[in-house]
Amino acid sequence: MRTIRPFEPTDQEYAARVAIHNAVWPAEPTTIDYMRFRDRVWPQEYFIQRLVAEVNGQIVATANYCETHWSYRPGKYDIRINVHPDHQGQGIGSAIYDYMMAELAKRPGTLTMLTSLTQEDRPAAIRFLTNRGFQQQMRFPSSALAVDQFDPTPFAGTVHKITTRGIHIATLAELQQRDPDWQAHVWELDCTCTLDEPLPDAFSPPMLAQYIAEE
């Protein structure tokens, strides 16, 4: 029997959420502690509902739908669905999507926009979204540096060059010692730089207290 219901913040259900996330996104593993932290710092003024799907009492999928506090507009929600690979292709993701749409229809106001994401090497996930009217608006290329293979020789003079231009590279520990308002200054810089990034919708800067809590 299949059941879709709200997530309960117990050790057992957090363990299930983490196991499913790590099975679906092995290149981006998480932990129970980090997942609890992210849930704890979610800004309370913005709606979020976390879900689980069970088959014969076993949690096989997780999901959430929420207001996009990072890019807020009334009626805009972001949805995420993770079905364990062993249970994909059985209609579980579709059932969760239908459940979320029914619940969103009960929310105040009019549903104006849905956002989600996946990876371009997941054709089934792309079909799932496009079949429901989603259109690609942005790509996030990913790259990684093989630190053990990095050759610093070509960059030997780089630090001196930027230092002569008045730019100083400091560690966070150094910044904390010399700037009592370092958190506010980092927040201001981060928000300013984000405004210059290409985004599919307007950026909603977090309040300083929220930024500090999340970092």
Mean pLDDT per 10-residue segment, the chain (215 residues): 97 99 97 98 98 98 98 98 98 98 97 97 96 95 90 89 91 95 96 93 96 93
Determine the Cα–Cα distance for residues 208 and 195; give it in Å rounded to an integer: 16
Q: Whole-prediction pTM value?
A: 0.90
Put residue 56 in one of left, alpha, beta given phi > 0 → left and psi -120 to 50 → alpha. left
What count of residues does the chain have?
215
CATH classification code of 2-130: 3.40.630.30
**What is the per-residue pLDDT for 137?**
95
pLDDT of res. 202 = 94
**Tokens 């690979």 belong to which residue?**
85
Cβ-based neighbours of 176, under 8 Å, separated by 6 or more: 182
Identify which of 52, 50, 82 has the alpha carbon closest to the alpha carbon of residue 65.
50
Q: Round to whole Å and give the CA distance between 2 and 95.
A: 9
Q: Assess contact for 82 and 62: CB atoms under 8 A.
A: yes
pLDDT at residue 156 in the model:
86
**What are the start and end residues of each CATH 3.40.630.30 domain in the chain?**
2-130
Residues facing 51 on adjacent strands: 6, 63
Residue 76 CB burial class (10 angstroms; 0-12, 13-18, ≥19): middle
> Is the CB of residue 210 less than 8 Å from the CB of residue 46?
no
Q: According to the model, what pLDDT value does residue 144 have?
A: 86
Distance of alpha carbon 166 from the chain centroid: 36
